[in-house]
C-alpha cells in the first residue's frame, strides 16, 4: 500500500546551518507530494507541494524536488533560523484518491 518514510529525529542544528530532511515514498501511480509543518501548540500547515515528477515546491526558503526515479521528496533549506523549530511531515496523495498518507514526522530543533 501507499506509505511515506521520513528520517527519524530529532534533528538539532545551529542557526544558519543547512537543513536536509529525507523523505521517500511508496505509491501506485503518480502521487502528489507535500511537506506540512507543525509548530508547537498549532495545527499542521502546508509548507510546500509538488504535483508531478521534477516539480520543485518552495516556500519560506524551503525547497523540495519530486524525484520519481528515486521516489523521494527531500526537504532542504540553506540557512535555518530558530523560528524554523517545528515538526515536519512528508505526505502524499494519489491522483483521484482522497486519502493522505503522512510520514511519522521529523522534529527540528534550531539553536541560536
Partner 1 sequence: DTGVSQDPRHKITKRGQNVTFRCDPISEHNRLYWYRQTLGQGPEFLTYFQNEAQLEKSRLLSDRFSAERPKGSFSTLEIQRTEQGDSAMYLCASSLARGTGANVLTFGAGSRLTVL
CB of 27 to partner 1, least distance (A): 14
Q: Which CB sits closer to partner 1, 36 or 80? A: 36
Q: Which CB sits closer to partner 1, 93 or 110? A: 93
Pick from 104, 108, 107: nearest CA to 4 = 104
Angle, vertex CA 99, rays to CA 76 and CA 47, nearest 5: 25
Classify residue 91 as left (phi > 0), alpha (psi -120 to 50) or beta: beta
CB of 64 to partner 1, least distance (A): 15
CB of 1 to partner 1, least distance (A): 11
Contacting residues toward partner 1, per CB under 8 A: 4, 32, 36, 41-46, 49, 89, 91, 93, 98-105
Count of CB atoms situated within 10 Å of the CB of 23: 24
Q: Can you read off the three cell numbers belonging to residue 8?
A: 527519524
Q: Which CB sits closer to partner 1, 14 or 60? A: 60
Amino acid at each position: 500500500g501507499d506509505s511515506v518514510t521520513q528520517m527519524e529525529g530529532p534533528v538539532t542544528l545551529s542557526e544558519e546551518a543547512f537543513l536536509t530532511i529525507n523523505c521517500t515514498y511508496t505509491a501506485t501511480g503518480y502521487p502528489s507530494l507535500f511537506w506540512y509543518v507543525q509548530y508547537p501548540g498549532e495545527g499542521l500547515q502546508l509548507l510546500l507541494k509538488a504535483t508531478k515528477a521534477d516539480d520543485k515546491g518552495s516556500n519560506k526558503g524551503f525547497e523540495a524536488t519530486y524525484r520519481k526515479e528515486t521516489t523521494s521528496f527531500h526537504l532542504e533549506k540553506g540557512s535555518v533560523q530558530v523560528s524554523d523549530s517545528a515538526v515536519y511531515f512528508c505526505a502524499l496523495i494519489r491522483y483521484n484518491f482522497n486519502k493522505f498518507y503522512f510520514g511519522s514526522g521529523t522534529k527540528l530543533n534550531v539553536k541560536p
